[in-house]
Structure 1
Amino acid sequence: MSHAPHLRTPSGKERARALGIPFAGEPGPYNAITDVPGVAVGYATLIKGEAVRTGVTAILPRGREGVGSPCAAGFYSLNGNGELTGTHWIEETGSLALPVGITDTHGVGLVHRGLIDWIGANYPALAEKWLLPVVGETWSGYLNDINGPHIQPLHAAHALDAAARGPIEEGSVGGGTGMNCYQYKGGSGTASRVVAYGPHQYTVGAFVQANFGVRTELTIAGVHLGDALRDDNPMSSVRAADAPLPGGSGSVIVVVATDAPLLPAQCKAMARRVSIGLGRTGTSGGHFSGDVFLAFSTANEGALRSDFPDGPPGPDEFDTLRFIPWGRIDPFYAATVQAVEEAVLNSLTANEDMVGRDGHRSPALPRDQVRKLLAARSAAE
């Protein structure tokens, strides 16, 4: 198998492994959330003039053919200064049946509307019941005219129509277009890990929309680099609402997928482990960052449905869930942590400088400098 997808995105941008960063665990063929069978990801990217830097990301847990078929799911909020719609129903039923949208903070309602419109057009019988789409957000206001009417429902439809399996682009694409991470250009990133379970192999994939972190916190492969990378940090002097823009503000949405059979509570437990993966990159989870995570399992297809009942229940009308025993769950936690850490670093590496509204500039991670710093640390050891 060629390892080119591990090193570069489909457009040729470097990924974190191209910098020589050592990562634990075995990645899947594409080192992406789309290594989980059935999962598809699509983008709508809006870059216009000097002030529009935004977009929409769509994640379809079972692809187009599986819309409406529930997955076991759970979510976790590390810090609630953010939005992820539909979580009350996930908490109630332990299931996720619709595509997930990710965008900027002030585009949530429009993307929510767009998901409903797309499902109504493509799955009218499903839309006749009720729809509670899941839409997450991070704040793009440093680079993007976030209050302008740029995101529209049709962009959600474009992202859904573009959703595909296989290798996916990273960096300034989709909902990640206007985002920053550790006060560098951030955005969309993904990674995966393969977990052996007796004779079986399962995959855990993570997708991040990374818009968080203070520069001085940045840690790569256990090496604290933030102090050595203080230079060229234009975000540190920006003011918002007549006050300095707090370092680390902005938020991060993380979606974790797996084909391992899990209970909803186990999905929620995996979502909690996202916090550890983020922590490995240095963040302390600031007050002005909404850090909200979703995990789902594509196993047990056909279970966890909430269909309208028709007549009395049949004698064998029961759902059955097959699941990993709790005592065997730790390798899946480790895979989650590893994939999230690498996905964040991919979102940073697969990027270039961007200038947006009011001339605000977000510098790209200085890849050559990172290579040198990591090599020097390795030589010293």
Structure 2
Amino acid sequence: MTAPPAGPAGFSPTGRPRARALGWAPEGVPGPWNAITDVPGVEVGYRTLVSGSGPLVVGEGPVRTGVTAIFPRGRDGTGRPVAAGLHTLNGNGEMTGAAWIGETGQAALPITISSTHAVGACHTGTIRWINRRHPALAREWLLPVCAETWDGYLHDINGEHVSPDDAVAALDGAARGPLEEGSVGGGTGMNCYGFKGGSGTASRLVPFGGADYTVGVFLQANFGSRHELVIRGRNVGTLLDVPNPMEEGDWAHGAASAPGGAGSVIVVVATDAPLTGHQCAALARRVPLGLARTGTSGSVFSGDLFLAFSVANDRPSDTGFPTGSPSEAELVASVALPWNRIDALHAATVQAVEEAVLNALVAADTMVGRDGHVSYGLPVGEVGALLGSGGGA
């Protein structure tokens, strides 16, 4: 196992141990923050909404939700394209803007992740933010990426608690640096492998040509069934003595339980390695391999949608309305990693995805939501004993 670091690669901004500090991290060398923000220019912001308790009253709560915002080139770089590609493992989910990314192999706008029924609010809020901060860009057309996972077990999901202003707040708050994980932002009300889940991140350094490229991952973990959970190669989910009301309780209006593995996972992969859109899609296709290391088999009730982008080859957009005549136009030039050298980035993606899932689980405490529904936090000490790693605090 990699020696646990003393800095943010192994500990949260509040000093809480992450998977790496517990000795659970997979192979590979992380960046300084062990986060998607290790990729130059990437900024992340959260808006977390928690209020109320007791019985569900639609429109009043309880509220357990939020919004996560990701800028590929930072707020000031909105509108400048990144090479981008997509992959879907299971399509029971939503990611707006995907058709245009598939068409052009590019993305140029911020990404938001939230609750299933908040996609519209995030879309409106993103357009509102761009119109305020980049009005010239908003005069053409805007197809932002807004993705979702389902938080209806803990949250008043039909209560319209996420507003466009909440998306604006997450976008305004985006910054570089180490990130909090677990029950923050869009991950606030999410569950993973029958435990409390949420937001998770990790990164890897990849040597090439005398320099280090970075691969960073951010995910909203809301997937997997308890019996599937694997940590460091051991199926611990079947060995942990913790109640599992999400899969065992009678809570879904007559359904005996939630379908095993239901919920969804959104994964965003970023890198500064120069890649084409097709190569970014290849990275996105490796995301399921990292998820599988944590045990999931990919439930039909889970929307598993993945986006990868490269911040290399920074240049103005070539997809907006053209100006001047064709005779005055210039060719677009870029460089890309050779296909026969890309395997190291594939491996880094798999490693960072696995660690990001573990980070989301480790960071999330037990949460009580609507109607007294409980999502229990992963028992870190018990898992550590099973793995022989001591478990941590």
Give the TM-score band, short-chain normalised. Answer: over 0.9
Q: Relative to 1, partners in 2 of residues 1:309 and 1:40: Cα closer, same or farther, differing over 3 Å?
A: same
Displacement of 1:275 in angstroms is: 0.5
Alpha-carbon shift at residue 241 of structure 1 (Å): 3.7
Name the counterpart of 2:362.
349
Hey, what does 1:201 align to over in structure 2? 212
Matches of 2:124 and 2:200, distance apart in 1: 25
1:304-319 to 2 correspondences below 5 Å:
305-314=318-327, 317-319=330-332
Spell out the pairing of 1:1-381 with structure 2 (5 A cutoff). Answer: 3-50=6-53, 51-229=62-240, 231-238=242-249, 239-243=251-255, 244-302=257-315, 305-314=318-327, 317-375=330-388
Partner secondary structure for residue 270 of structure 2: strand
Provide the rounded CA distance (Å) in 2 between the counterparts of 1:230 and 1:136: 33
Report Cα offsets for 1:87-115 as digits up to 9, x if no partner. 00001111000000000000000010000
Residues 126/315 of structure 1: CA separation in 2 closer, same or farther (3 Å cut)? closer
Contact 2:272–2:311 (CA<8 Å) still a contact in 1?
yes
CA RMSD of aligned residues (A): 1.6
SS of 2:296's equivalent? coil
SS state at 1:9 partner = coil
Q: Distance in 2 between matches of 1:89 and 1:349?
A: 36
Question: Could you tell me the percent identity over the aligned residues?
Answer: 61
Report the CA distance between 1:311 and its aligned residue.
Answer: 2.4
Moved more, 166-175 or 308-317: 308-317
The residue that corresponds to 2:59 in the other structure is: none
Q: Partners of 1:61 and 1:191 in 2: how far apart?
A: 16
Q: Secondary structure at the match of 2:148?
A: strand
Deviation at 1:307, TM superposition (A): 2.4
The 3-state SS of whatever aligns with 1:119 is helix
Q: Secondary structure at the match of 2:285?
A: helix
SS of equivalent residue, structure 2 residue 207: strand
CA contact (8 A) 2:79 2:317 kept: no
- Give distance in 2, aligned partners of 1:173 and 1:14: 16
**3-state SS of the aligned residue for 1:336?**
helix
Distance of 1:185 and 1:305 partners within structure 2: 43
CA deviation string 1:5-30 (max 9, x = no partner)? 12221122221112221420000000
C-alpha contact 2:111 2:144 (8 A) present in aligned 1: yes
SS of residue in 2 equivalent to 1:369: helix
Secondary structure at 1:19's aligned position in 2? coil
**Shift in alpha-carbon separation, 1:314–1:302, aligned structure 2, 3 A:** farther
TM-score by length of 1: 0.97
Shift of 1:169: 0.7
Q: Secondary structure at the match of 2:302?
A: coil
Unmatched 5+ stretches in structure 1: none
Report the structure, 1 or 2, having the larger helix content. 1
User: Structure 2 length normalisation: TM-score?
Assistant: 0.94
AA aligned to 2:224 is G
Contact 1:69 1:305 in 2 (8 A): no
Deviation at 1:322, TM superposition (A): 0.3
Which stretch of the first structure deviates more once superposed, 186-195 or 222-231? 222-231
Q: Secondary structure at the match of 2:238?
A: helix
| Secondary structure of 1:229's aligned partner | coil
For the 8 Å contact 1:251–1:289, the answer to whether it is kept is yes
What secondary structure sits across from 2:14 in the alignment?
coil
**What secondary structure, in the 3-state scheme, does the structure 1 residue paired with 2:332 have?**
coil
Post-superposition CA distance 1:313-334 (Å, at most 9, x none): 2466111120000000000000
Separation (CA, whole Å) in 2 of partners of 1:22 and 1:87: 31
- Aligned residue pair count: 378
Work out whether residues 71 and 304 of structure 1, in 8 Å CA contact, stay in contact via their aligned partners in 2. no
- The alpha-carbon deviation at position 222 of structure 1 amounts to 1.1
Once residues 273 and 127 of structure 2 are traced to their aligned partners in structure 1, the CA distance between those partners, rounded to angstroms, is: 29
